Amino acid sequence: MLDVPPRARLRLLKRNLQHALTHPMSNCGKQVLKEPFLMDASSSNFIRGSGVLLHITSLPSEHGIGDLGPQAYRFADMLHKAQQRYWQVLPLNPTQEGGCNSPYFSASSSAGNPLLVSLELLEREGWWKLDECAPETASASEVDFHAVTEFKYRQLAAAFRVFKKRDDHEVFERFCMQQRHWLDDYALFITLKAAFGGKVWSEWPESLRVREKKSVNKVRKEFEEAILREKWYQYVFFSQWNAFKEYCNGLGIRLIGDIPIYVSYDSVDVWAHPEMYKLNSRLEPVGVSGVPPDYFSATGQLWNNPVYNWDKHRETGFAWWIDRMKLMLGRFDIVRVDHFRGLVQYWEVPAGEKTAINGTWMPVPTYAFFDALKAVVSPLSVIAEDLGIITDDVKEAMCHYEFPGMKVLLFAFGEDDPSHPYLPHTYPRNCIVYTGTHDNNTVRGWYENEADETVRQRLRTYLGCIGNSVEDIVWALIRLALGSVADCAVIAAQDLLVLDGSCRMNTPSVAHGNWRWRMTPGQMDAFPVDALAAMTRMYGRGAHPKR
């Protein structure tokens, strides 16, 4: 560990915060103070520790949606005080109203979400004065994505106009050059979508749909300023994100990101690289993604993402995936891969089906794929989302590459099975335990509205609970996660606040009303920092042991 006296360490951390707040647009590359992240002998991505699951959009702010401004830094300080090693967020990619504002349904697998830009930090630069302090209908407890999108893009456009009048564009131009392998196509794609009224790219004029070179060059020139503006939005986002990540790392907090395994059909990824997906001659999907019928759904789940042409990916040495993972592991310290089992076998449903019933399991060149990744991306710090029915081939791949899997406590008590893989006494060390994920109800909501009395009694018996209050049950489950042998325990912020089911982040298979929850300023003030710190220390997960 760094031999830094506590007072000197505090001064450095304060200086780092001051730098982030006063110079949000600086080119943040070097870390002022970074506590080394040691690996244990098991080769896990984790040393024993714990963290909190809270998406950036769920932070308090004055502008209708959580962002990378002062409240994000304040929450990082709270995690540091609470002895936490990890902060897990959802994907940071741009969201779309047409995609129900889901961070898992984006126009780009590489771009950042401009809605997360802190206007407050931009204003502190002295560029321009916000003309409004909040969007209409802004709520402290929910995101109104329509109102926020109109408000934020109006403010960002005003800031861009001021930026254009300045002459210090060198850092911005360097960013554009360094990121051009994805940024050029993204900025053009988003600009064209706006020009064509939000239409899916397959409905654009034929010459642009097939990316005819002459037509593409023509629109690049025609929409030059709009394209530049989109690039600037990305520059602002990543400038703020890099400063924020630097600050978190300086506190000894590792950021866990999340990437969807699939991309949206209406994305720059498919438009710019159609050969990488199973499309027909009209550039329409031949097969789409989903999962087969199971205990939870008699018709399975039909996601409708285009599936990968794995033969083509293999021919290119998996270059697209390597570029993607290099980007993600540059932006995060660890990446959770959603629906990991799709990288071993995936369920392909013929395009046009109404359900996922008539699909087929298709192979993936798993070992060639991960060997190619590991040869270039090192360390390959990945969490495998292995929830649901997992077959032996998936388990073998995870074991071979030592990828930790996930354990969810809310799933552990539905059966009277002492060997259930989600019960803590069955865990291996190399795993991450959650009270629940973004797709689950809150613990309180689950206990009050989903678990029947048999499940509740089974849970109480396992916990050895004497008290039956909901708060006691929620904190007993948190204690169960932190006290487990799992290398990492991640607790949803809603559970630490003992919030009910109205505060869940997402309800799968429900199209509307998701991703909206925000922590109110009062809830942030009431966040149980001291109680979490005490429990974290007690179970040997403290991030800052005495030297």
Q: What is the DSSP letter of 441?
A: P
- Rounded CA-CA distance 138/65 in Å is 8
Yes or no: say if 354 and 409 are a contact pair by the CB < 8 Å rule.
Answer: no
- Give residue 294's Cα distance to chain centre: 26
Catalytic choice (385, 386, 487, 495): 385
- Rounded CA-CA distance 154/117 in Å is 13
The residue type of 195 is A
- Rounded CA-CA distance 137/120 in Å is 19
- Rounded CA-CA distance 230/190 in Å is 8
**For residue 505, what are its two tokens?**
């982040």
- Specify the length of the chain in residues: 547
Catalytic choice (62, 125, 393, 439): 439
Report the side by side order of strands in the sheet with 488-492: 382-384, 334-337, 254-259, 86-88, 49-53, 488-492, 431-434, 405-408
Yes or no: say if 364 and 346 are a contact pair by the CB < 8 Å rule.
Answer: yes
User: Nearest to residue 60, comparing CAs of 78, 72, 43?
Assistant: 72
Yes or no: say if 346 and 361 are a contact pair by the CB < 8 Å rule.
Answer: yes
> Is 338 in the active site?
yes
> Is 439 in the active site?
yes
Helix 213-222 vs helix 180-195: angle between axes, to the nearest 10 degrees?
80
> Is 386 in the active site?
no
User: Nearest to residue 274, comparing CAs of 231, 307, 249, 304?
Assistant: 307
Catalytic choice (142, 266, 338, 487): 338
**For residue 377, what are its two tokens?**
């991306």
Yes or no: say if 174 and 180 are a contact pair by the CB < 8 Å rule.
Answer: no
Catalytic residues: 338, 385, 439
